[in-house]
Amino acid sequence: MAQRTHERTLKRLTRRPARPGDTSVRPKGRLLIVGGHEDKEDSKLILRRVVQLAGSGKLVVATVATSEPKQSWEQYEQIFRGLGAPHVFHLDVEKRTDARGSRAMRALSDATAVFFTGGDQLKITSLIGDTPTYSRIFEIFAGGGVIAGTSAGASVMSDTMLIGGGEDGSHRIHSALRLAAGFGFIKDVVIDQHFAERGRISRLLAVVSHNPRIIGIGIDEDTAIEVRPNRGFRVLGSGGVTVVDGRHVSYTNVAEEETSRTISLFGVTTHLLSQGDTYDFKTRQPDAHPAQRIDEEIGVDSREESDE
């Protein structure tokens, strides 16, 4: 009997893992990075966009981050099927051995989109980081597919991810910012989610003060950025996206003052973008566009929403 495709894929990726560090690979896909609590009841604009980007192919819901994978899977399966997704499958990884098995490869076979639910981002990276499952997800992205994630599923997209700390008022130098390695699907940025709702501007500024080369991106709830790597992103949803650019920082005291001191940061540039606006990674400049264009493209009648 001929060996099944997903088993051949597992053996191939075990022998030769696929990683973002391979300079010969230039990803053709997109990232849809969601700040959490996306609308699941009314227009469902962001989730509609996930379905659009998946097209007629397989949409895989990865519940790796959550402590309630069954409930999360059932919720998103119902929503995605209701929005017209023809093929919705579940990627359930509870331990690293699951991410090295043929069951995960079967779920990801022929997938055009993977959607990571919320929960704990460290669960995602620690359970599937540098496994055949991770390699297969990167292959989907590199080949032109979409990788989406909400909340914890958003934070893992960058090469460095925020996992906690620094949320209590003005940032002090001793405040423990907890950072860890992420997926590396988007370079030279740090992403924070639930941004305005949880008052996280202070900690994003602190991250940029530690290394002004990094662009800080804070995404509000029910808001997403649709990213084309090495190019830029556009904003979707009802909230805002805050961009913190440290390119022109003239001074910071993080390496000079006592650890109990409040942080100083001069010359930082901050942009606030809303639906339709775009941001160019190369020029580090935003550009304004009408929000209505997004509604029309995704098939949402904003006038009907405002009348309700």
Please state whether beta strands 58-62 and 30-34 pair in parallel, antiparallel, or not at all (unpaired).
Answer: unpaired
| DSSP letters for 144-188 | T-EEEEETHHHHTTBSEEEEE---SSS-BTTS--EEEE---SB-S
Task: Mention every residue, 6+ apart, whose C-beta is less than 8 A from residue 222.
Answer: 35, 37, 38, 39, 46, 237, 238, 239
Q: Identify the residue whose tokens are 């400049």.
A: 285
Known active-site residue 151: yes
Closest C-alpha among 217, 300, 305 to residue 33: 217
Q: Which of 194, 209, 226, 238 is catalytic?
A: 194
Would you tell me how many other CB atoms lie within 10 Å of the CB of residue 119? 20
| DSSP letters for 12-58 | HHHHS---TT-TT----SEEEEE-S---SSS--HHHHHHHHHHTTSE
3-state SS class at 246: coil
Task: Mention every residue, 6+ apart, whose C-beta is less than 8 A from residue 56.
Answer: 86, 87
Residue 55 identity (one-letter amino acid): G
CA distance 25 to 227: 17
Report whether 211 contacts 25 (CB < 8 A). Answer: no
Q: Which of 43, 72, 135, 151 is catalytic?
A: 151
Q: Which of 38, 139, 221, 226 is catalytic?
A: 221
As annotated, the active-site residues are 151, 194, 221
